[in-house]
Structure formats: C-alpha cells, structure tokens
Amino acid sequence: MTERQPTDWRAPAMQRRLRRRYAAERRFRLLGLAAILASAAFLAFLLVSMVARGAGGFVETRVALPLDLSDVRIEGARLMGPGADLALAGAGLENAVDRAADAAFAPAGGAAILSDGAWLVVRDAVKRDPGLLGRRTVLDVPVATEIDIARKGRGTPEAEASVRRLGDRLSSGLNTDFFAGADATDPTRAGIWGALKGSLLTMAVTMALAFPIGVLAALYLEEYAPRNRVTDVIEVSINNLAAVPSIIFGLLGLAVFLGTFHLPRSAALVGGLTLALMTMPVIVIAGRNAIKAVPPSIRDAARALGASRVQVVFHHVLPLALPGILTGTIIGMARALGETAPLLMIGMRAFIAAPPDRLTDPATALPVQIFLWSDEVSQGFVEKTSAAIIVLLVVLLAMNGLAIYLRNRFETRW
C-alpha cells in the first residue's frame, strides 16, 4: 500500500475549483432573483394597467340639470309601495326630463348630453323626496357615455366640445350604480353587483357541495380505505380529474344538470354544481395531503388510549388537518371563482339585467361578466371591464388572504 499524499487544500487547482463553485452559487442566486423580479414586474404591470384603466369605472360624470317638475302630478299614496316606479313612468317623468335637457343644453340636442338612464336617477330622487314634484329644482344626473369618456380624457372631438361648453356644470362622483346595479346596455348604467351576487351564490353552492364531499372522500381514502388496486385506481382518477380542462366540466354540467335533470338554464345552482365537480378533486388532494401530514404518532396515541376510529379521526386527525384542508379549499374555490368556460357552457352568459335573488334565478358570474363586457363595442364598457377585473382581483385577494390567515392561525406545531 502506497502512502496517500496529503490533500493540498491550497493548490491552485483546488482554489480554481473553489472559485468556480462560488461563481456557480452567485450565478444561481442572480438567476433566481431575476426570476422573482420578472414575475413581480409582470404583476405590477397588470395591477398598474388595470387600476389606471379601471379606476375611471368607479367614477361617473354628472351634470347639473335644472328641472321643472310642476307638470308631473301623482298622488302621494302611489309613491309608496311597489307600484311607484310604474306610476312615475306613467306620469311622464321621462318626457319631463327630456324637455328639461333640451331647454338646458339648447343648441346641442339635450337628450344626447344625458345618459339614457338619467331619468331613472330623477325617479329615485323623487321617490326619496316626493316634495320635488310640482316645483322647480336642480339635480345632478349622469351624462351620456361619450361626454363621460371625454371628461376623463379619451373622447371624440364633438364630445370634447360639449364638455368644454358645459364647463363647470359638470361634476364627478362615485358611481353607486356600478356597485348596486346589474348588467345594462348603457355603460353608464351597467353595474357589477348582479355578477358579483351571481358569483357569490355560485360559490356558496360549490362550497356547500364540494367541501363536505371532498373532505369526507379524503378522510375515507386516507384513514379507512385499504391499499389495493381499487383505491389505486381511484387515486389516479382523482388526480387526473383535477387536471381535466374546465370546459369539459362545463360540457358535463350541460349534459347532466340541464340535459338529464332539467334544471333551469343560467342559474347559480347549476353553475355551483358544475364548479363543485371541478373543485372537489382539488379539495380531495389538498385534504389527503393535509391528513397525511398529521403525524402517525398522534393517531397511535389516541388509539392506544382506546379511542375508536371515528374518535381518532374527528378528535385528532381532522382538527389538525383542518388548516391545511381549508387552505386547499380556499385555493380551489378561488380557482373556481375565476372560471369562465364551464359557466359559458351552461348558459350563464345571458344578458341578465337584475341581480339574482334565488339559486334558480338566471344569473351571471364575475369572470363571465368581464368576458361579456370586453366583447361590447361601446367605448364606455372598456373602463367597466377593467373596473370589474379590479373587483374580481380584490375578491380573489381577500380569499387568499383568508387562506393565509387560517393557515397561520390554526397551524399546529409539534
């Protein structure tokens, strides 16, 4: 046996190797940093452009309109109760508003200045204060889309001229209709609430269905099912199901819920059922991982004390796995919230002018509404689209925030 030469840690070759290793380390760190910066830049670009374009959507332009309502007469009693809208429409309120506009903005054809829905604003004002009837007054009413856009700086030359002429009779305010209304043909009247409510109802159905089924399936597979060919097939199927394109679920929903069960078209119920199908595998996978992460020693401890299987699961495994399950669920729900394709397939793309009140009412959802508005030709829908995207992002952000909160709040360390 020859005596082994002692390693010379200071030899030039050794030093070179060391330098190469440090260089590789630095390169990798820089690449990683670049990747983070790139993704952060994309995100920032998305947010900035959305906010820049969409911020206008939350603001409407109003014009001060002198009104003479002395001709519009109606009995006070009819202003109360559900018949009020009809009564006011019958009393010629719309004509009165048109006349007032013609008089106020004489040369330019007054009705073109005001939004189509301007008289509705007057109507609501009258309903709040019946005393307005029978006398002269000045009300801020929304202007037509072209004027609104021109005031925000992107209008046609004619509209720009109108804005200059109207001068300080124009004012800006928060567009309450956007938050309270449903879809409309006139962009100044179009609101997000209908779509948001549709989305919330859909999510409620999805949650009510996918969460218990998903969690129970995950618990059964992890805690009860024997490991054999059948459960292997089930496991693979569930994993594949989670990767199936969402439009396939839409087709499934169309065929099963509409075709076989004849549930109403465009309803939040059907949307929720379809999205539940899509979300369930995600919850099952997240749930199984969370359940797997519960240390077996805890199960042993409970079993050794004489706890039955159900007691082990519900006293120990489930509470410890719940934060993980909830996180997975919320992330699955967030994905469902942003889903468009399956909802299109089951007819949730119809023009719905009133927020849904029941699960079976025709409804639309936030992402579908965004899709529909982005298709509109009218200039006014451009900023509405962006504004709707902002609302959707805020809702998603809130859900993810909740997920993080739940994880940190209930996460157990052992």
Partner 1 sequence: MTDHAKITAEGVNVFYGAKQAIRNVSLHVRQDEVTAFIGPSGCGKSTFLRTLNRMNDTIAGARVEGDVRLDGEDIYARAMDVVQLRARVGMVFQKPNPFPKSIFENVAYGPRIHGLARSKAELAQIVERSLQRAGLWNEVKDRLSESGTALSGGQQQRLCIARAIAVDPEVILMDEPCSALDPIATARIEELISDLRGRYAIVIVTHNMQQAARVSQKTAFFHLGELVEYGDTSAMFTNPREERTKDYITGRYG
Is the Cα torsion angle 218, 220, 226, 232 positive or negative in sign?
Answer: negative
Question: Minimum distance between the CB of residue 231 and partner 1, rounded to whole angstroms?
Answer: 11
Nearer to partner 1, 128 or 413 (CB): 413
What does the block give as tokens for 373? 């508005």
| AA identity, residue 317 | V
Question: Which residue bears the tokens 């006398």?
Answer: 135
Cβ-based burial of 6 (10 A; exposed 0-12, middle 13-18, buried ≥19): exposed
Whole-angstrom distance, CA of residue 121 vs CA of residue 104: 17
Nearer to partner 1, 85 or 300 (CB): 300
CA nearest neighbour of 235 among 217, 248, 223: 217
Nearer to partner 1, 265 or 303 (CB): 303
Question: Minimum distance between the CB of residue 413 and partner 1, rounded to whole angstroms?
Answer: 7
Question: Backbone phi, then psi, for 350, in 5-degree steps?
Answer: -70, 160
Nearer to partner 1, 107 or 296 (CB): 296
Which positions lie near partner 1, rule CB under 8 A? 226-227, 295, 297-298, 300-308, 311, 315-316, 320, 412-414
Question: Minimum distance between the CB of residue 189 and partner 1, rounded to whole angstroms?
Answer: 55
Question: Which residue pairs, CB below 8 angstroms and at least 24 apart, start in 126-132?
Answer: 126/69, 126/79, 126/88, 126/93, 127/79, 127/84, 127/88, 130/76, 130/79, 132/67, 132/69
Question: Minimum distance between the CB of residue 316 and partner 1, rounded to whole angstroms?
Answer: 7
Question: Backbone phi, then psi, for 174, in 5-degree steps?
Answer: -65, 130
Element holding 108 (H helix, E strand): none
What does the block give as tokens for 202? 């859909």
Question: Minimum distance between the CB of residue 414 and partner 1, rounded to whole angstroms?
Answer: 5
Residues 6 or more apart whose CB falls under 8 angstroms from that of 65 comprise 97, 100, 101, 104, 114, 118, 138, 139, 140, 141
Question: Minimum distance between the CB of residue 224 and partner 1, rounded to whole angstroms?
Answer: 11
Nearer to partner 1, 201 or 320 (CB): 320
Question: Minimum distance between the CB of residue 404 and partner 1, rounded to whole angstroms?
Answer: 20
Whole-angstrom distance, CA of residue 266 vs CA of residue 164: 45
Whole-angstrom distance, CA of residue 300 vs CA of residue 135: 82
Cβ-based burial of 128 (10 A; exposed 0-12, middle 13-18, buried ≥19): exposed
| AA identity, residue 326 | L
**Are 172 and 242 within 8 A, CB to CB?**
no
Whole-angstrom distance, CA of residue 122 vs CA of residue 97: 8
Whole-angstrom distance, CA of residue 127 vs CA of residue 129: 5
Whole-angstrom distance, CA of residue 187 vs CA of residue 116: 10
Question: Minimum distance between the CB of residue 297 and partner 1, rounded to whole angstroms?
Answer: 4
Question: Minimum distance between the CB of residue 295 and partner 1, rounded to whole angstroms?
Answer: 7
How many beta carbons lie within 10 A of that of residue 193, not counting itself?
16
